[in-house]
C-alpha cells in the first residue's frame, strides 16, 4: 500500500537538542539553542523566522555542510553529525537535492549538462539516468531548451531547471533555501506549485525556507525558529486537500 504523503508515518529528519554557536568579535553568539524537531517522510515543511534566526544554519546542519556545537542530527537513519567530512560529502551527494535563491546553475554548462551534474559527481551517468533527466525536463516544460546555456533563460526558467536538477539524483530529501526569493510573485508561485507537485508525486521530503506567506500555504506543517528554538504549528491547509484543490 502506498502511503498518503499528507499522513506520513516515519521520520526522515530528527534534530536532537541541536545547538550551534559562532565566535564573533571575541564572543560566542548562539544561533540555535538545543533545538529539537522531527520531519516525516513525504512531508512538505516550511521553515520560517526572522532574518538571522538560523534558518540557513539549520539547513547546513541537516545537509552536513556544517556541524552542531552540540546535539545530534539524524537523516534517513544516519547520524549526519557523527560523520567525517568525506562521508558527509558522499551522504550529501546521494541523499539531498538542493534548490537555492540564486539558481546556482553553472554558466558554462547547458541545461542538460547542469541537470546531469549531480549524477556525474556520483560517478554514474547511464542511458537510463540521461533518459530520466530528460523526462524531468519534460516535467518542467523545458525539454526543448536542453542544449541552451543558462544565461539564455529567464529567472523562472532557471529555477525550473534547478528544481529538476535537485530531483535528478532521486534523493529522499530536498532542501530549498528561499527558492522564490529572486522571482516575481506570479513566477514564484508557479515554481512552488511545480516543486510541490514533483516532490509529492515522488514521495520526497521537502524542507523549504521562505519569507513568503503564499509559499507557507502549500505546507503540511510550519516550523518557526524563535530564540534558537523550533516551534511547530499545525497544517495551514485543510486536512486531506491537495495543492491542486482536489481531495
User: Above pLDDT 90, what percent of the chain?
Assistant: 39
CB-CB contact of 122 with 96 (8 Å) = no
User: Is pLDDT above 90 for 235?
Assistant: no
Domain that holds residue 59: 42-64+82-233
Rounded to whole angstroms, the Cα distance separating 200 from 16 reads: 26
What's the CA gap between 217 and 198, in Å, rounded? 17
pTM over 0.95: no
The residue that leads in pLDDT, 220 or 6, is: 220
Q: Is residue 19 part of a domain?
A: no
All residues at 6 or more sequence positions from 129 whose CB lies less than 8 Å from its CB, including other chains: 116, 119, 168
Q: What is the mean pLDDT of residues 216-227?
A: 88
Reported as a single tens digit per residue, the pLDDT across 47-95 is: 998 888 889 999 999 999 999 999 999 999 899 999 999 999 999 988 9
pLDDT of residue 132: 81
pLDDT in tens, 147-195: 999 999 998 899 889 999 898 888 899 999 888 877 888 888 888 888 8
**Distance, C-alpha 197 to centroid of its chain:** 14
| CATH number of the CATH domain containing 156 | 3.40.50.300
Residue 116 lies in a domain: yes
**Lowest mean per-residue pLDDT among 28-32, 149-153, 179-183, 203-207:** 179-183
Give the count of beta carbons closer than 10 Å to the beta carbon of residue 233: 13
Would strands 229-233 and 221-226 be described as parallel, antiparallel, or unpaired?
A: antiparallel
Average pLDDT of the residues of the chain:
84
Question: Is position 31 within any domain?
Answer: no
How many structural domains are present in the chain? 1
Using one digit for the tens of pLDDT, what is the confidence trace for 83-129? 999 999 999 988 999 988 787 899 999 998 898 888 888 776 778 87
Decide: 106 and 48 in contact? Cβ < 8 Å.
no
| Number of neighbours of residue 72 by Cβ within 10 angstroms | 15
Amino acid at each position: 500500500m502506498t502511503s498518503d504523503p499528507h499522513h506520513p508515518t516515519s521520520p526522515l529528519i530528527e534534530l536532537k537538542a541541536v545547538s550551534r554557536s559562532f565566535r564573533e568579535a571575541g564572543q560566542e553568539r548562539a544561533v540555535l539553542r538545543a533545538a529539537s524537531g522531527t520531519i516525516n517522510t513525504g512531508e512538505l515543511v516550511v521553515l520560517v523566522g526572522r532574518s538571522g534566526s538560523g534558518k540557513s544554519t539549520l539547513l547546513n546542519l541537516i545537509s552536513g555542510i556544517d556541524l552542531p556545537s552540540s546535539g545530534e542530527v539524524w537523516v534517513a537513519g544516519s547520524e549526519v553529525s557523527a560523520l567525517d567530512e568525506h562521508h558527509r560529502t558522499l551522504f550529501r551527494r546521494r541523499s539531498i537535492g538542493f534548490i537555492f535563491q540564486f539558481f546556482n546553475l553553472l554558466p558554462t554548462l547547458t541545461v542538460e549538462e547542469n541537470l546531469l551534474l549531480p549524477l556525474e559527481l556520483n560517478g554514474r551517468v547511464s542511458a537510463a539516468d540521461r533518459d530520466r533527466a530528460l523526462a524531468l525536463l519534460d516535467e518542467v516544460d523545458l525539454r526543448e531548451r536542453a542544449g541552451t546555456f543558462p544565461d539564455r533563460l529567464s529567472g523562472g526558467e532557471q529555477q525550473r531547471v534547478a528544481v529538476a536538477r535537485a530531483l535528478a539524483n532521486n534523493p529522499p530529501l530536498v532542501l530549498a533555501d528561499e527558492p522564490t526569493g529572486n522571482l516575481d510573485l506570479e513566477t514564484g508561485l508557479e515554481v512552488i506549485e511545480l516543486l510541490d507537485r514533483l516532490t509529492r508525486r515522488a514521495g520526497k521530503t521537502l524542507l523549504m525556507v521562505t519569507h513568503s506567506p503564499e509559499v507557507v500555504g502549500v505546507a503540511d506543517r510550519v516550523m518557526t525558529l524563535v530564540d534558537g528554538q523550533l516551534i511547530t504549528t499545525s497544517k495551514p491547509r485543510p486536512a486531506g486537500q491537495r495543492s491542486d484543490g482536489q481531495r
